[in-house]
Structure 1
Amino acid sequence: MTDEPFSLEVTIALPVGDVWSALRDPESIRRWHGWHFDGLDKEIEVIYHQNVVESAAEHRLEVQGGDLFELTDLGGRTSLRMTRAPRGGDPEWDAYYDDITEGWITFVHQLAFALERHPGADRRTVFLSGAAATPVLEAAGLAAVAGLSPASPYELEGPTGETLRGEVRFRTANQVGLTVESWGDGLLVATRNPPSPAGPGGAAMMVLTTYGLDDAAFADLESRWNAWWGRNFPEPSANGQDDPAGTERVPNG
């Protein structure tokens, strides 16, 4: 744990105006922020439009709580830098600091993926969360990807009997993002939150993002993955860990 604010920088292969629009337009935000649940629209309003400080000219957005987005024009590409507000001296809120950081890591990479690979397309998602009884990649049979660098191809038997094939999209200390061809060039993000004051046992999470699946195919995927998850991970504790991102919810990854 450190007192220095966390920052994350990604380069997105789109003009700065397109990335700025994706941070300001609610319909665009729905295509990358978090995952689908009944309160998603309210969450987007709370985080990105209530009590924010923005400068369209500078492409700078400070959201509720002081977390900061800064966009830099790289001549047809955009550098997005996201910097967390420092810990604020509120022990109850600061207990979730590292979990919130992991949530932002997931969301920033989902933003870059959606804009670069699926501009303007709607998605459907499956969200899985629980206590970290077993490392999530190991439980899913995906441990072999842990040592691969971004852009490396992979092909593995998934935990629900399907072949997962694509490339490593990103890796961080606690997360890995994999593209999945059979999900319409989708994205699987697997996270293991280390122990923290808010979650002494740590937490495990997956976000499955799909594109273009029909209702039957998506329902089958959702059923299979929920059943596998239920067999391998206990239900999340009632401390907000199943509800990550924002000021009303606790962002964790």
Structure 2
Amino acid sequence: MKNDPITKAPGRVVDITREIHAPVEAVWKALTDAREMERWFPLHANIQPGEAVELSWGDKVDWRMEIEEEKELDYLRLGYGQEHHSIVSPEPRRLAVEFFLEARGGSTMLRIVHAGFGGGSNWDEMYDGVRRGWDTESLGLKHYLEFHAGKDRLVAFAKRKSARSHEEIWNILVENGLTVNGDSYAYTTPFGDRYEGAVAYFNPPQDFCGTIPGMNDALFRLILDRYSPDADIVVWAWISTYGIPEAEVKAMERQWQTKLDALL
């Protein structure tokens, strides 16, 4: 692997590495092809080759990044400016996310470096959200390529803002029971469904991510994010499904949205 990212902007840096049991060609395509990106990352993607990547999660949650440099199967750098961080700082500042790929047998070592965040406390929530986000999104990429490569994804997605604290919201969401035992978990949802599987990421009271083998190896996430100082917390319940009928996915989405609205 390369030892040093090209990004040299001052401030805090997110730097993570994942081993993905998939060829480097598959990982590269998942980072550079719009349909492939929609199978693990945003709800909608548009890529203008050599120019920009546009991602959307709906409800005006959009992310546009310019393609600053790419070397096929090896390196990709995407940059973006103040329109994405004006909520925390009026200072003109360029941020960038870099992807370093290295083939290792039939697997790929993927390193993600996201840099340029300011060092002040006004950047804390944004930096922490991006750090935790890449932790879990990279696991979503790994899960997709290792278990569902080439398959379209349908997402059950519910979202709600709350003025409560992280701890209060977390306790409300897991009061019916979340048990983590090593790499396994069992969770009774607020509406009584039971999810069981492998723990992918556990960071209470902000994040939980786990597989649901009984749902054709879906990936379930609970996320509590605050995007700027003094803002309300945004709660996301997210289930990435593959090969599940759309009607079932929409029914899950309605269940989660109705319960989040009632509880929060």
What TM-score do the two structures reach when normalised by structure 2? 0.71
Q: Aligned partners of 1:82 and 1:30: how far apart in 2?
A: 18
Q: Aligned partners of 1:179 and 1:132: how far apart in 2?
A: 29
Match for residue 170 of structure 2?
136
Deviations 1:171-219 (A, max 9, x none): 35742211113432101112233x5644545443222111222233222
Percent identity, aligned pairs only? 23
Aligned pair partner of 2:215 in 177, 183, 197: 183
Q: Aligned partners of 1:82 and 1:141: how far apart in 2?
A: 35
Match for residue 56 of structure 1?
72
2:198 counterpart SS class: strand
Gaps of 5+ in 1: 234-253
- Matched ranges for 1:29-108 at <5 A: 29-34=37-42, 36=43, 40-42=44-46, 45-46=53-54, 50-56=66-72, 59-65=74-80, 66-87=96-117, 96-108=126-138
Match for residue 20 of structure 1?
28
Match for residue 153 of structure 2?
123
Match for residue 237 of structure 1?
none
The CA RMSD measured in Å over matched residues stands at 3.1
> Residues 198 and 52 of structure 1: is their aligned pair in 2 closer, same or farther, counting only changes over 3 Å?
farther
Relative contact order (alpha carbons < 8 A, sep ≥ 6): 1 or 2 greater? Answer: 1
Q: Which moved more, 1:74-83 or 1:172-181?
A: 172-181
Q: Aligned partners of 2:64 and 2:70: how far apart in 1?
A: 10
> Residues 94 and 113 of structure 1: is their aligned pair in 2 closer, same or farther, counting only changes over 3 Å?
same
Deviations 1:98-145 (A, max 9, x none): 333333333222111111111111111122332362343651347634
Q: Aligned partners of 1:125 and 1:52: how far apart in 2?
A: 30
Q: Could you tell me how far 1:4 is from its partner in structure 2?
A: 3.1
Q: Aligned partners of 1:101 and 1:48: how far apart in 2?
A: 18
> Residues 153 and 92 of structure 1: is their aligned pair in 2 closer, same or farther, counting only changes over 3 Å?
closer
Deviations 1:36-90 (A, max 9, x none): 3xxx234883368733311115x11111231111112221111111111122589
> Residues 176 and 54 of structure 1: is their aligned pair in 2 closer, same or farther, counting only changes over 3 Å?
same
1:160 counterpart SS class: coil
Q: CA contact under 8 A between 1:96 and 1:198: conserved in structure 2?
A: no
Q: Which moved more, 1:173-182 or 1:8-17?
A: 173-182
Q: CA contact under 8 A between 2:78 and 2:97: conserved in structure 1?
A: yes
Gaps of 5+ in 2: 1-9, 55-62, 81-95
1:122 counterpart SS class: coil
Q: Which amino acid aligns with 1:228?
A: K
1:62 counterpart SS class: strand
Match for residue 5 of structure 2?
none
Deviations 1:219-252 (A, max 9, x none): 221111111111123xxxxxxxxxxxxxxxxxxx
Match for residue 251 of structure 1?
none
Q: Could you tell me how far 1:32 is from its partner in structure 2?
A: 0.7
Q: Which moved more, 1:61-70 or 1:132-141?
A: 132-141
Within the alignment, does 1:214 sit opposite 2:245 as a pair?
yes
Task: Say which structure is richer in strand.
Answer: 2
Q: Which amino acid aligns with 1:232?
A: L
Q: Aligned partners of 2:75 and 2:234: how far apart in 1?
A: 32
> Matched residue pairs, number?
223
